[in-house]
Every structure is written in C-alpha cells, then in structure tokens.
Chains A and B, each alone.
Chain A
C-alpha cells in the first residue's frame, strides 16, 4: 500500500500504462513539460518522450478527432481536456464519430479512445471551469463514463479505461485531486471492474448514491446521520454508463429509501434516470419517493456563491429528513 493523492494516482496509472503498452499515448493541451494544468501528467514526457506524451495545438475537436484516427491505426490515445467547460468544441467528434464508429462499421472497427476530463466545482474558479456535464455524454450510446472518487480507484480505473475496447470518458473530480488515499499498486482488488458500483458504508434506513466529488460529502452526511441514530448506506456509483442498477436496486430493496446526489443540475440528470429505474425495479420496496440532491437549473454560478449551489452535507441531510418523514 502506498499513500498518494488522486492526481498522483492517475499520474502513476498513466505511467504504468505507458510503460506496459507501447501503443498507448497521451494527448492534450499543456500536458508535456508543464505536466498539465493540474500536473496530472507531471514528468511523463521526460520518461516517454514527445511522441507518447503529445502537447497538442489548442483545439479540442482536433484532439478528439486525431485520437479517433490514431485509434483506427491501432493506438490507445488518452486525451486530456483541460476543463469540463472546454470539452464542447470536441462534442461533435465525441458524439457523432467516437460514439458511433463501432456501430457504423457493423462491429468491424473499434475506437478505444480515453478522454480525461477534470470536472465539478468548489475551486473558486471562473466561468466554464466548474461544470458537471456528464449527463450530456451519458445520453449518448457507444460511450462509457466512469468517475473515480478515491486514489486506489483512480490508479486502476485509468488503466482499465485504456484497456477497454470501447471509448471511455473519465470524469475526474478536480477539487479532490489532492485527496490522499491508500493505493495498492500490485492488484486492483475490489476495483477489478470499473463499471461496478461500490457500497462504501452499510446501512439500513436509507441509501445515498453519489459519485466523484460528492462521495466524501455523502460519507460525511452518513456519519452525521448516525449520530442521530440513522443508519445510512452509501454507494459510490463509480460508473455512470453503464450504470450499476443491480447494486442500487439491491440496496433500496433493503433500505426502502433513496437519495441521489450530484453536482450537475437535477433536471435531466443522472439522478432522474436512477429515480426512474428504481421506481420500476423496486417500486414495492420504496417507502418514499426517490429524492435528488443536485445543482439548480442555471448556468454554474459565480465563484462567490457556488457554496449555495453545490450540494453539501446539510442538503443531503435535509433530503434524508424528507425521505424519512414519509
């Protein structure tokens, strides 16, 4: 076991991949000598050279589009998009080309491109630097979307994404980049399947589902609830597409109550999808409506008021109160 931050864990995961697979390469803006704006690729260009760690022109469509071409030639490109709000110039390539190439070719072609996107708020930044656009991608068939919440997962999930035959988007919780955790670099252990949800905390009164940056918040809320004598189960979704409905369903069948928390706006979001599925799969187990805790239907607000926007411990506890009052 080694203690490292999430950022360092991704760095080490990428280093392991580059060392193991000569066809893997990293592409992105400022990922070379600078090591990326979050230093996630720090030191890699020195070790693997500029053909494997490619500083690209500032063009997101260009990054994704050329990555598709590299993948068609047999390479495993890992693209870094600098910030969540800057992925949209590449949205066309991701949704009309990357997601559909395998289907368009009747299964003859695969495009195993990985796209890393630092996402989420809470860093006091300017516009376009704090968004959570995962639902926009989850709606597109052909993509896989994962989001680690801890260092061990981060280390393994980035490598598993590169090994996957399908395109994978990794949403990285940027405000947790410096969160430290134990990493077993010898074996993934419970993290052997990147598309499975993990039950982080067992409980009997209600289930809280969260992912990415809100996982520590959900755990803290569960701890606070315990002091009031409420037993809350916490699930780290880990994968948004595919979504591990089996794990969530089994939990709700046990607890009867479900709260889903994410930073993204609740309208049209992942929470709504989970609520709909769970109402179909576990209707008779539900003691209360599924309650969503998330962002408001507005552009991500300015930094000075983002604390009023972001779900926190109290907002999850308030939702828990509402759920338990049914």
Chain B
C-alpha cells in the first residue's frame, strides 16, 4: 500500500495473480498496486510520486474539497427526494463517488475540457455548472441543460462511452490549435502557442467493455492526444459486477495501448486530486494520454429505478461505507487541527441552503415549448422542419379559445 507502478513500468504480474488481485478487489480488499494517500483511518501516507502533488494542497484547499464533497452529497440526497416526490422522472445517485469526482474535477483547470457520463454531478459542481440546470434533464425539460461553452463541461452522454471518442477528437483539436497558433506567431515561444489544455473523458467499469473505449484509446495513443481517461470503477454496472467486464485491473489495460495506467483509491480525495493533477500535466506537456482507474463504490442504486437488494449483499455496502470518502477527510482535518466544529456546522448549513435552492428552482424549471425542438433540430434552415412547424402552428391555432379539438385534426390533416 502507498506505492504504485504506472503500467508502463508494470513488470507483468502473472495473469493469475492479477485475477486474484481483482477477485480480492471485488470482495472489497484493495489490490496491491493502488495509489492511496489518505486511508479510511484518516492518516496520511506517503507515495514517492504523488505526495509531492498532495503537498501542494493548502489547508484551505483541503477544506474546500471536503465542502464540495459534502455539498454534492447533500445535493444527491435532495435530488433523490425530488424524484421520490415526482418532481424528477429519474435520478442517478453518486453517493460513495464524491472523492473520485471532486478530486478529479478540482484538479482540472478552466481551459481543460471535460466529457462526463451521466453521473458526474460532483465534477459538474467543480466546473461551476448551476446544479439546478443539471436537473433539467432529469425533469424532462431538456436533453442537455447547460451551455458547455460557459464551463468547458460537456453535456451528459447517455450512450455508454460515446463521449470517450469525442474527448479524444477534442484533444486532437487542441493539438492542432497549438500548431496553428505557433504558425501564426512564429518565434514567440510557447506563450503565444495558446494556453496548454487537456481533456478528461469520464466513463465507468461497465462502459469499459464498450468498443468506443477501445477505439478512443487506440486513437489517443496513435496521435499522442492530450487526454486523461478517468474510469470510475464503482464495482457495479447496474446489476453486473466488475469481474464480468474484466479479469484484470482496468488500469492495466493502458499498458496494451502504450500509455500509463494508474489505479487510485477513488475514495481518497487527496490521492485522486494528486494523480489527476499529475495526469493532466503529463497530457498538457505533450506526453500523451493517461488512464486513471478510480477504485470506488456506488453505495446507492444505479438510478432511482434500480433495486440493489436483488443483486448484492448489504454487507458489501457496509464494508464500503466504512471507507467513506468524507469521513476519512473529516478525521484528517480534525486530527491535524485544520477544521473545527464551526467549519463542519457551516458546511452542513451551506448544504441545506443548496438543497433549498435546488428544491425551489426545480419546481420553477420552465417546461419548454416544442417549437424550440423544431428550432434546434438543424442549425440552418430546413424546409421539412419549416413545413411541419407551419402545420403544427395551424393545427394548434385550431384549439385557440378553448375550442374542442375534435374535428380539427381531421380537417387540418397533414
């Protein structure tokens, strides 16, 4: 524990050993090669590479990481409640994955671009996405909800792993931007070559089986694209455990593509932050992609439509609750005298305020007019869309003044 080997240096553990390690992992035992700095006991360990990165975190930054994790957990509880009350059609809870998301999101810089799956509410928070906007999709009033150009946080993608390719393409665009900038301002050095930026592609252990993940890693490797693949291994793809997706630690797959793969304790926000910061630097410096496997656990259901009691034991959930990402950071902050009761009380009241804001704004989220769907199907004028909209307007006008719709439909027949 506490040490790691990026997969480029991985010495090729026998396959059986890897299977054993993974089997252990599924049972809840961390495997040998996993970066961990802050253990469940709240004690800070040492890592030859990543301690240096962890030490950059000031007391204020550590308190910030805790506050973010607490806020998004409170938000998650509120959103689940809103779904139960019928205010949301569906909710995708993240509880248990706060450290993986806040740690990685806070390691990114504003010029980086993030491609999430559909569970990255914590990352959204770190990118200043209005959390009320995030609920639009789940209330059925938008298929997106925010403008990614404002935050460099892309829209949620529901088709598994499709976004990993978008991330690599975006990273290929960054590479070309730098070359174009250098060509336009030769001799002015790196400063004029545009801000160095990288991309993060999030996906899960289930999606790791999708072909698009493979293709994205092939493309990223071939073109040395500045992209960090951030896999949250939360152990369950709805009802199917990770060992159906893979027989080796997912981070080991990077070796096959020729770039570093690192497994990090996904419930250790300090280690996640350090590893992600290292990986983003690596990418921004033109050294190519990195795969991070954040070893974590989805404590709750896949979605509010799911029932985990049908496929897993509550003892497993309890074992992971003991590794809670918030508890261990709280222990550390208290034992080091970095935060007091007043801080934690403030975090709690801020969380309640956020919950109240989300509750209020969710009720107020405006139902869109279907005319916006006509308007946004194409960017340029399209005669069929125009024709169907005109018909719809005429048809709708038939109901004006509360007239009975019967008969109008036949008369207007399209």
Contacts and interface: CB of A to CB of B under 8 A. Distances in A.
Interface of A: 22, 25, 51, 56-57, 59, 61-62, 64-75, 77, 89, 92-93, 96-97, 100, 102-110, 112, 141-142, 144, 164-166, 195, 241-246
A102 B376 contact: yes
B379 A165 contact: yes
Given A57-B219, A105-B148, A165-B379, A65 B165 contact: yes
A104 B380 contact: no
Contacts of A89: 211
Given A22-B180, A59-B219, A242-B384, A69 B167 contact: yes
A219 B155 CA distance: 48
Interface stretch (B139-147, B246-254, B317-325): B139-147
Contact of B159 (A62, A66, A71, A92): A92
A167 to B, nearest CB: 9
B212 interface: yes
B334 interface: no
B173 interface: yes
A104 B143 CA distance: 5
B292 interface: no
A243 B382 CA distance: 10
Nearest to B414: A280
A314 B43 CA distance: 85
- In the complex, which range does the number of interface residues on chain B fall in? 35 or more
B342 to A, nearest CB: 41
Interface string B157-183: 101001011111111111111011000
B215 A108 contact: no
Given A59-B219, A61-B215, A73-B177, A242 B380 contact: no
B218 interface: yes
A75 B162 contact: no
A88 to B, nearest CB: 12
B383 interface: yes
Contacts of A104: 143-144, 155
Contact of A66 (B144, B179, B219): B219
B222 A57 contact: yes
Given A22-B180, A61-B212, A106-B376, 20 more contacts: A51-B176, A57-B218, A62-B168, A62-B219, A65-B162, A65-B169, A66-B169, A67-B169, A68-B165, A69-B166, A69-B169, A70-B172, A73-B174, A92-B212, A97-B157, A97-B162, A97-B166, A103-B376, A109-B149, A166-B378
Nearest to A97: B162
B238 interface: no
A57 B164 CA distance: 16
Query: Lowest 5 CB-CB distances: which A-B pairs, in order?
Result: A69-B169, A65-B165, A73-B173, A66-B169, A62-B215
Contacts of A92: 159, 162, 212
Nearest to B384: A242
Contacts of A65: 162, 164-166, 168-169, 212, 215-216
Contacts of B162: 65, 92-93, 96-97
Contacts of A144: 378, 382
Interface in B357-414: 372-373, 375-380, 382-385
Contacts of B175: 51
Contacts of B375: 107
Contact of A59 (B171, B218, B385): B218
A67 B219 CA distance: 11
A51 B372 CA distance: 38
Contact of A69 (B171, B177, B379): B171
B143 A62 contact: no
Contacts of B144: 104-106, 108
A106 to B, nearest CB: 6
11 contacts: A59-B218, A62-B165, A62-B168, A66-B216, A67-B169, A70-B169, A72-B169, A93-B165, A102-B378, A105-B147, A246-B383
Contacts of B383: 195, 242, 244-246
Interface in B250-294: none
Contacts of B384: 241-243
A246 B166 CA distance: 38
A105 B135 CA distance: 14
Given A72-B166, A74-B173, A75-B176, A109 B218 contact: no
A103 B264 CA distance: 37
A106 B171 contact: no
Contacts of A69: 165-173
Contacts of B382: 144, 242
A302 to B, nearest CB: 29
Contacts of B148: 105, 108-109
Contact of B376 (A22, A56, A107): A107
B111 to A, nearest CB: 12
B176 A61 contact: no
B159 A73 contact: no
A195 B175 CA distance: 34
Contact of A70 (B173, B179, B212, B385): B173
A144 B383 CA distance: 12
Contacts of A22: 180
Given A57-B222, A141-B377, A66 B155 contact: no
